[in-house]
Amino acid sequence: MALKIVKGSIDRMFDKNLQDLVRGIRNHKEDEAKYISTCIDEIKQELKQDNIAVKANAVCKLTYLQMLGYDVSWAAFNIVEVMSSSKFTYKRIGYLAASQCFHESTDVIMLTTNQIRKDLSSPNQYDTGVALTGLSCFVTPDLARDLANDIMTLMSHTKPYIRKKAVLIMYKVFLKYPESLRPAFPRLKEKLEDPDPGVQSAAVNVICELARRNPKNYLSLAPLFFKLMTSSTNNWVLIKIIKLFGALTPLEPRLGKKLIEPLTNLIHSTSAMSLLYECVNTVIAVLISLSSGMPNHSASIQLCVQKLRILIEDSDQNLKYLGLLAMSKILKTHPKSVQSHKDLILQCLDDKDESIRLRALDLLYGMVSKKNLMEIVKKLMLHVDKAEGTTYRDELLTKIIDICSQSNYQYITNFEWYISILVELTRLEGTRHGHLIASQMLDVAIRVKAIRVFAVAQMATLLDNAHLLTGNMQRNGICEVLYAAAWICGEFSEHLENPLQTLEAMLRPKVATLPGHIQAVYVQNAAKLFATVLKSQEGNTDSTTAQETIQLMIDRLPLFVQSANLEVQERASCILQLVKYIQKLQQKDVAVAEEVIALFAGELNPVAPKAQKKVPVPEGLDLDTWINEPPSESESEDEQPKAIFAKEEPKHSRPRHTEVDEKELARRREARKQEQANNPFYIKASPSSQKVYQDTPGVEHIPVVQIDLTVPLKVPGLPMSDQYVKLEEERRQKERAEKKKEKKKRKEKRSGRGKKHDSGPESEEDITPAHMVDIVTEEMPENALPSDDDDKDPNDPHKALDIDLDNLVEMARRRPLADSEKLPVKSHRATEALKSPDGEAESTSQEAKKKSGKEKKEKKKDKDRDKKKSKDEKKKKKHKHEDKGLDLLGNQSDDAVNQSEGPSEVAAPPTSTAAEVTDLDFWLSNAPVPSNAQEAVTVAAAPVPEVASGSPPNSEPEESPKETETEESKSSKPKKKKQKKDKEEKEKKKKKKHHHHHHHHHHHHSDGGGEGSVQNGTVEEEEEPLPPMSNYCLLAENSYIKMMMEDADQVCDIQGNLQDGSQVVVSVIFENKCESFLKSMEFNVLDSLNSKLQRPEGAGPHDGLTVPFQLPPGVSNEARFVFSVQSIVMPQKLKGTLTFIVKNEESSTHEKLDFKLHFTCTSYLITTPCYSDAFAKLLECGDLKGSSVKLEGVNMPFHHLLARICFHHHFSVVERIDSCASMYSRSVQGHHVCLLVKTCGQTVSMDAKCDEPALLGNVLDEIKQTFSQC
Amino acid sequence: MDTWIHNDHCLMSLTAQVCLAQQHCKAGRLTGSEVTSSGRMITFILMVNRQGQTRLCRYYQPLKLSQRTALETDAVRCCLSRGRDQCSFVEYKDFKLVFRQYAALYIVAGVTDDENELSVYELLQNFVEVLDKYFSRVSELDIMFNLDRVHLILDEMVQNGHIVETNRSSVLAPLTALDKMANG
């Protein structure tokens, strides 16, 4: 044994370590591959040894080789071995290798689960750290699921080092295992306020990342982040937070307003450029989101633009680049502010750095106006001439066209100018954007009728000089324009001055060297021209011209008939036959021109790019089935139609929008070649430096004489755009002069002494287009709407994380954390936490359900208790938004179970979304803001505890110091009682409640269900506001005190042990009606066999419970009492007494009040959501017994009816379809109660099923009673 | 314009698959299965020398080996072609390269489009400063010979593609502990 160890260490001495390997590779430059392969062999040997040190060394070397690009996946198992070493030195090598080599499909990963879990819980923080780091690189969905709970525990580790890492890796876990988000979120949120800045920043990172994808779920965290933003000094964190706000503001404009100030402060104060840049970016984003309603932020915009200008003027290229980048964002909403910096941007076009030039170009795109378009384009044309390198020049070209054609040629005032620009662009050597120019030419000619004469003339010249363009076949990109030229000349041949000459040009033998699709257009349009010539010669007595033309056609067409391109061939032979026939007729002196013209009659209108998509698919046509078997891959590319761009709107016809088809691929391949050719670092495949275009059909066979043209070509006889600029200037001048004259005249007419008014720089509107521009819109199929329907990508991994976390409690209300959503826990751990006698799973789920039920209740109760809530909101507000928002679920259920609650607890936040949202409202509404917030204030300001109406607002000893504001509002607003008996006040109250309801309605409509059917939500979310409902009923009252009970509002079955009985919590509101102080209240109930009041340990069965508060005059407070109940199938009544001391200045007296507690069967029901499929199963199983009831004369909307049942009887709607709804509830002891409610006129029929008929009967009776009361 | 350029490039190179899929995510169309679309983050960090040899690589998104090699070559080419007078940000496919040059060594970070370029630029400087402190005047050889340690440092600073720690001494803490362990 000892020998073995010695041997191992000796071996090791002779092994190469990483350094040796690196050195070796450097020494074997010439035969590196060979050397490495011997090394790999050695490593394989080393891996076979038992010594872990040797293995680790080998794995370390493998990591290096992997970096060099060698596949080391074969050693995956060895890596796992090294990972599981107990020594940190080796372990980290293993983890490093794993993080570099493992990926989701590495199968050994599943072997690592236990090892990683062990490492995560290792006492050595570095073990844990290295495991976390490694895990973040290779976490798989399985690992995420299995380890989520362990990592979550680590989030609360004592060492910040671990906490930080655990928090960060949680993001990866969420991505891989979205179910973990809900349970982990509360803790993650906690970490935002971790004392360690590192952990805090990690949490910020993760939440920012989550929020960026699904911002709406994180809106409620805004106050917290705001606090962090104003307090943090860490720039990295600040940047993240500011980014996050950028994502949130579009959802909540008020947030934006709040942000502007601190952000501008930061912009002013910070010296960190990265932070400045981020702030500017976010301010821009905020302003964009505000731009609709808030025009008064020009100061902020100005500030941003100024700062950006400084960046752009900076000598640091990085800043310049970013400045331009940010500038382009401003441009979108505030073009005016950017336009004033035109000089700077044009200057950037001369920059040495291409990426800066490209950014500047982008900016120019948005800066053009009618006024400066010509000037800018002129500058750009200059750059085109100067530009080195095709890429940049092509970029310029596309930009020019983009700029000119944007928003339907909005900025072009003179189309003659534009056409001449296009013609000038055809001089570009070696551009690959010929088709772009061509499609522009076509588009303009087709859509701007007034320009046709001019365009046709230009195109004719172009055709005439075609040899100059096509002289060099290498530049075939540009010959695409001939396609357009030929088509325009043919289609609008009536405008041609000399059609015969053009016809001649189109039939030159040289044309046969053009690409096939262009030839085809030539032939077809030659026929059109032919028809025009015939027509013009028709009346002519001298028929020689006509005959010559016919002869010309007959002579030249055979060339095309022989074309290799089928299309050309077909068209040519067709037309040739036609011409021959015409010749025959002509010889017989038959007038044929009309008929020939008729062949090409009719206007061709542009078709909208989306038109095809909008054509409805005829019935019975399946577009997805193959008509024939799919063609084989090897099909020659020559068969592909080359150009499809004719008659499409230019903006959309660009290749970037078209689907990636074969042709596109070919084009891109070509583009890539071109780029590679320009790239000095690319080793070219062919020895010649010439670019070879292999995929141009029909061209490669033609021997081409190279013409080397270094000087840009001037196409003779073509007008230059410059002259149009001049002309346009003159025209505008004239126009202006005329206008001025007119104005002057008018002025003089109006007031003789009128001062001369210089109209200053002309405004946009003043420039009238030179032509009456008639831009033809595209055709669409009937009934088609030109809407965009961009479908969202269903596979986005972040979609799974779109979970409403706004408030987990809120969610629990809707849907409890189901079993499946609990993080998987190894059972031995779980049992430590939960001491339930039942299975762990069951208790978890029950607990969850219980929570949900409670939450639901709570939310409803909120409505009745808004005063309390608002009180508390007030507090929160006072506490400078310190409020942490929601409590953890756990804490909360504890609260509910605790039978005695002090005053502070009663006032504790009813943690429902409503509170949360209004909270956000409060936070946002610090500034004077719209009605929404005002409303919130009113609600909040309205009332302190329930005070008998009319009684003067007495200050409460404990509350008054904090609540001065409340006091003010108290005096201004008479307090309302919730009780129904105050009829005259009910109206007002109703209004208030309605508002409140609207309020959270407004905030939550987004997460409601479908339209027709509502699933598992309360109906109230969807429909018009409901009348207020209260579950409180009067318990007893005397001159001193009033007791109101909510009928057993909280129902819990904590033990989950049904035989031992269940617990029912009763909330009782005590209200002091007299002028004296009430104290020493004791609550006692005479226990029955079935129901017992739960008393603290040691108390006898007849002892009363002390009510944990005293009541000053006019104040009310709430206490809760827990009862345990045996059987729940029958309603029960319990007799009770309340004793208390009435104390005033003179005396104190003992008083007593008797009451009867009424436990309805309803109170044993827990609102439990149920899914329709589960519901259906339940009904199918047949264990349930049915019963039904009919209610007559119910006069309320259906959704009110449902809401009432939900509210008073603790049901939840499973599904609702029109006037029919299925509802579900569950009793404390697990009885299912199903309800089918149908309404017809004033009759409501309810079919109910339950596994306990007695319970069902009672519940139905109670429902009946509820509706008979109203 | 951007999307178009990217689209173009995407099909051109071997690494296209990933980028293309991401692109499609953006465009709201289809997507391949396995690709996790990135958040706002650093997608990879590379160290390469003038000869184009990789000295360090760390990917925060899974990438096939062949794709890595292609990406590295491309990235190096992009950075090498930039002069001193050009900015350190290169738009490359659908993300950006942020790079810094130290003598013959380039450090390149691939970041998503909406990451703050300047902050990453700062991070690279910070990273080199930490290396410099640990190796006291770091050289290319240091990085090659101590690849595992460099990784450890990097992992302390960047995790998951997010910046975690920028304080020099806390970054080096685990490493110092490790060295002590090895010595003692």
Q: Given a cut of 60, is residue A916 above it in pLDDT? A: no
Contact B26, A194 (CB under 8 A): no
Query: What's the confidence (pLDDT) of residue A577?
Result: 92
A392 vs B: CB within 8 A: no
| Residues 424-483 of chain A whose Cβ lies under 8 A from any Cβ of chain B | none
| Residue of A808, A734, A795, A811 lying closest to A767 (CA atoms) | A734
Interface contact flag, A793 B28, Cβ < 8 Å: yes
Instruction: Tell me the shortest Cα–Cα distance from B133 to chain A, in angstroms.
Output: 21
Contact A1051, A1062 (CB under 8 A): yes
Mean pLDDT for chain A?
Answer: 70
pLDDT band at A315 (very low <50, low <70, confident <90, very high): confident
Contact A1221, A1237 (CB under 8 A): yes
Nearest-Cα residue of chain A relative to residue B140 = A22
Interface contact flag, A278 B116, Cβ < 8 Å: yes
Query: What's the confidence (pLDDT) of residue A308?
Result: 86
Residue from the list A89, A104, A669 with its beta carbon closest to the beta carbon of B181: A89
Interface contact flag, A273 B118, Cβ < 8 Å: yes
Determine which of A815-819, A1203-1207, B106-110 has the lowest per-residue pLDDT on average: A815-819
How far apart are alpha carbons A429 and A711 in whole angstroms? 9
Query: What's the confidence (pLDDT) of residue A1221?
Result: 84
Instruction: Tell me the shortest Cα–Cα distance from A653 to chain B, in angstroms.
Output: 13
Q: Which two tokens stand for residue B116?
A: 């703050």
Farthest-apart Cα atoms in chain A, separation: 136
Summarised one tens digit per residue, pLDDT across range A681-721 is: 444 444 333 333 344 344 344 444 433 333 333 444 444 66
Determine which of A637-646, A742-751, A1044-1053, B63-72 has the lowest per-residue pLDDT on average: A637-646
Interface contact flag, B37 A169, Cβ < 8 Å: no
Determine which of A446-460, A1032-1046, B83-97 has the lowest per-residue pLDDT on average: A1032-1046
Residue with tokens 């309360």: A1018
Summarised one tens digit per residue, pLDDT across range A542-585 is: 778 888 888 888 988 888 888 888 989 999 999 999 999 988 88
How far apart are alpha carbons A1202 and A1263 in whole angstroms? 11
B101 vs A: CB within 8 A: no
Mutate to test the interface with A, among B48, B49, B155, B156 (most CBs of A within 10 A): B155
Instruction: Tell me the shortest Cα–Cα distance from A563 to chain B, in angstroms.
Output: 33
| Residue of A1111, A1227, A1119 lying closest to A1165 (CA atoms) | A1227
Q: Given a cut of 50, is residue A910 above it in pLDDT? A: no
Q: Given a cut of 80, is residue A832 above it in pLDDT? A: no
CA angle A552, A557, A558 (to 5 degrees): 120
pLDDT band at A1159 (very low <50, low <70, confident <90, very high): confident
Q: Given a cut of 60, is residue B35 above it in pLDDT? A: no
Instruction: Tell me the shortest Cα–Cα distance from A566 to chain B, in angstroms.
Output: 30
Summarised one tens digit per residue, pLDDT across range A958-973 is: 444 444 444 444 444 4
Nearest-Cα residue of chain A relative to residue B71 = A69
Query: What's the confidence (pLDDT) of residue A881?
Result: 40
Query: Which of the pair, A763 or A1093, is modelled with greater confidence?
Result: A1093
- Beta strand B89-92 pairing with A1091-1093: unpaired
Secondary-structure breakdown of chain B: helix, strand, coil percentages, each rounded to the nearest 5: 50, 20, 30
Interface contact flag, A96 B88, Cβ < 8 Å: no
* Whole-prediction pTM: 0.55
Neighbours of A723 (CB within 10 A): 12
Q: Given a cut of 60, is residue A847 above it in pLDDT? A: no
Query: What's the confidence (pLDDT) of residue A668?
Result: 67
Instruction: Tell me the shortest Cα–Cα distance from B7 to chain A, in angstroms.
Output: 7
Give the mean pLDDT of A858-867.
47
Mutate to test the interface with B, among A67, A164, A307, A364 (most CBs of B within 10 A): A67
CA distances from A894 to A99, A888, A905, A1031 (A): 43, 10, 12, 23
B144 vs A: CB within 8 A: yes
Nearest-Cα residue of chain A relative to residue B33 = A795
Q: Which two tokens stand for residue A517?
A: 């699709």
Neighbours of A1143 (CB within 10 A): 15
Count Cβ–Cβ pairs < 8 Å, chain A vs chain B. Answer: 186
- What value does the CA radius of gyration of chain B take, rounded to a whole number of Å? 17
Q: Given a cut of 70, is residue A807 above it in pLDDT? A: no
Q: Phi-psi region for residue A69, left (φ > 0), alpha (ψ -120 to 50) or beta?
A: left
Q: Given a cut of 70, is residue A860 above it in pLDDT? A: no
Query: What's the confidence (pLDDT) of residue A280?
Result: 84
Residue with tokens 């890539």: A672
Interface contact flag, A320 B159, Cβ < 8 Å: no
Query: What's the confidence (pLDDT) of residue A949?
Result: 40
Half-sphere exposure in the Cβ direction for B131 (13 Å, CA) = 26
Q: Given a cut of 60, is residue A816 above it in pLDDT? A: no
Summarised one tens digit per residue, pLDDT across range B41-80 is: 888 999 988 888 888 988 888 778 788 888 888 888 888 8
Interface contact flag, A355 B121, Cβ < 8 Å: no
Query: What's the confidence (pLDDT) of residue A804?
Result: 61
**B109 - beta bridge partners?**
B45, B98
Q: Which residues of B touch A273 (CB under 8 A)?
A: 118
How far apart are alpha carbons A953 and B27 in whole angstroms? 61
Q: Which two tokens stand for residue B138?
A: 């770091």
